[in-house]
């Protein structure tokens, strides 16, 4: 009956699946090299403002291993990636890993701030439906949250800038540094996801409200506060954990647009810059990292949910 062995079996199977997925991700990242039109050697020489003379190009191709068959190139590349050597940027010649490491903190700051916003706001939105005085608020929030879900983040960003930065002058238009610059990007990134998950949570909360155990908690004479904190919230929030874990990952993906709009010096902007500058190793590095973060945060959320829900940690089945 004890949950621990089942849990480790489950975890081992999930880790196996994750490794398989990451291997697939590496294939996709590598194949960018193949679909990318043009010769990388020529690309490198051009971005360094050197004339792509045939002799120079042949030399470069050999030194990069580009003259070998694709599968050999892939294995060599994968070997390097596994040792955390992501190659050097075409444009600057700097190691990709170093550039990513330099940009990562800004992105993490933004993603975590929006994640906190998503969790807090979606919980509040979801709970409005059951708060007795909040019925009118709930009715009002339903169309508003549908609107927020439908707002494209880049337009939301522009509207927020127009209102709070240009119109009221409360917050800076763009830039990085200090809490004031964080507000608008975090709002842009988080509002839509918060509204979306608030809607899911609202359904969940109403579902729990209809359960016998909640009515029985009332019949036992517990205070409304205790029913909310010990019975309603745990039962409604535990199933949300998976969703939140996925949203942490997709916030990392969403930073691309938001960082570009707000001139936020993070991974997202690095990715767009590298794409526009055709800097393939950097693109591959960022893609690998983002996919890794997404997969791992989903896995962590699944694990957390299993630990918190005794019904799940006891069952062995269901990978």
Partner 1 sequence: MSAMELSDLWVELPGPGGPRSLVRGVSLRLEPGQVLGLMGLSGAGKTLTACALSGLLPAPLEVTRGRLRLDGRALDLTRPQAWRGVRGRRVLLLFQGAGAALDPLMRVGAQITEALRQDRAMAAAQARQITGQALERFGLNSDAARRYPHQLSGGMRRRVLLSLAWALRPQVLIADEPTNGLDAASRDEMSLMFTQLTRELGAGLLLISHDLRGMARWADHLAVMEGGQVVEQGRAAELLNRPSHPLTRSLVESLRYLEGGHA
Partner 2 sequence: MSERRPGAGRIWAGGLLLALLALAVWAAPLLAPQDPLRVELGQRLQPPSAAHLLGTDQLGRDQLSRLLYGGRVSLLAGLAASGVALVLGLAWGVGAGLAGRTGDFLLMRTADVGLAFPGLLLALVLVGTWQGGMVALVTALTLTGWAWWARLARGLIQEAKSREYVLGGRALGVGGWRLLGCYLLPQMGPPLAVAAAMKTGWIIVALSALGYLGLGIQPPHPEWGAMLQQSRLYMSRAPWLMLAPGGAVFLVVLACNLIAEGLRRRWQIREVRWL
Q: Please give the residue ranges that form the binding site for partner 2 (CB under 8 A).
A: 17, 20-22, 24-25, 27-28, 32, 35-37, 146-147, 149-155, 158-159, 161-162, 166, 196, 199-200, 203, 243, 246, 249-254, 256-257, 260-261, 271-272, 275-276, 278, 280, 283, 287, 290-291, 293-295
Q: Does 211 participate in binding partner 1 (rule CB under 8 A)?
A: yes
* Shortest CB 230 distance to partner 1, Å: 7
Collapsed DSSP state (helix, strand, coil) of residue 95: strand
* Shortest CB 157 distance to partner 2, Å: 9
Name the nearest CA neighbour of 101 among 275, 318, 266, 273: 266
CA distances in angstroms from 198 to 25, 60, 124, 166, listed in the order given: 31, 54, 8, 30
> CB under 5 to 8 A by kind: which of partner 2, partner 1, none does 230 bind?
partner 1
Contact (CB, 8 A) for 182 and 160: no
Which lies closer to partner 1 via its Cβ, residue 71 or residue 311? 311
Which lies closer to partner 1 via its Cβ, residue 81 or residue 201? 201
Phi-psi region of 87 (alpha: psi -120 to 50; beta: other; left: phi over 0): left
Which lies closer to partner 2 via its Cβ, residue 166 or residue 180? 166
Q: How many CA atoms lie within 13 A of 195 on its CB side?
A: 18
- For 156-183, letters b (16+ CB in 10 Å) and e give bbeebbeebbeeeeebbebebeeeebbb
Q: Does 215 participate in binding partner 1 (rule CB under 8 A)?
A: yes
Binding-site size for partner 1 (CB under 8 A) equals 25
Which lies closer to partner 2 via its Cβ, residue 58 or residue 159? 159
Which lies closer to partner 2 via its Cβ, residue 158 or residue 222? 158
């Amino acid at each position: 009956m004890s949950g621990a062995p089942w849990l480790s079996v489950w975890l081992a199977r999930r880790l196996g699946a994750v490794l398989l997925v990451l291997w697939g991700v590496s294939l996709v990242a590598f194949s960018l090299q193949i679909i990318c039109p043009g010769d990388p050697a020529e690309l490198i020489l051009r971005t360094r403002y050197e004339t792509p003379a045939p002799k120079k190009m042949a030399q470069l191709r050999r030194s990069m291993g580009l003259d070998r068959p694709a599968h050999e190139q892939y294995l060599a590349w994968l070997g390097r990636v596994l040792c955390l050597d992501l190659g050097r940027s075409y444009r600057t010649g700097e190691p990709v890993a170093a550039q990513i490491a330099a940009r990562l903190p800004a992105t993490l700051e933004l993603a975590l701030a929006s994640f906190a916003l998503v969790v807090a706001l979606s919980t509040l939105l979801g709970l409005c439906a059951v708060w007795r005085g909040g019925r009118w608020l709930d009715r009002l929030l339903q169309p508003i949250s549908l609107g927020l879900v439908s707002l494209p983040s880049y337009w939301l960003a522009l509207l927020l800038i127009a209102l709070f930065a240009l119109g009221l002058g409360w917050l800076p238009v763009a830039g990085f540094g200090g809490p004031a610059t964080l507000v608008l990007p975090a709002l842009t990134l988080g509002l839509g996801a918060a509204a979306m998950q608030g809607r899911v949570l609202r359904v969940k909360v109403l579902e729990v409200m209809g359960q016998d155990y909640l009515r029985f908690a009332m019949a036992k004479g517990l205070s409304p506060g205790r029913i909310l904190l010990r019975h309603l919230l745990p039962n409604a929030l535990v199933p949300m954990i998976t969703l939140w874990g996925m949203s942490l990952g997709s916030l990392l993906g969403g930073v691309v647009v938001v960082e570009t709009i707000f001139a936020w010096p993070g991974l997202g902007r690095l990715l767009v810059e590298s794409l526009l500058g055709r800097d393939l190793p950097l693109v591959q590095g960022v893609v690998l990292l983002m996919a890794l973060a997404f997969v791992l945060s989903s896995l962590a959320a699944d694990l957390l949910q299993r630990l918190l829900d005794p019904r799940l940690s006891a069952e062995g089945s269901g990978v």
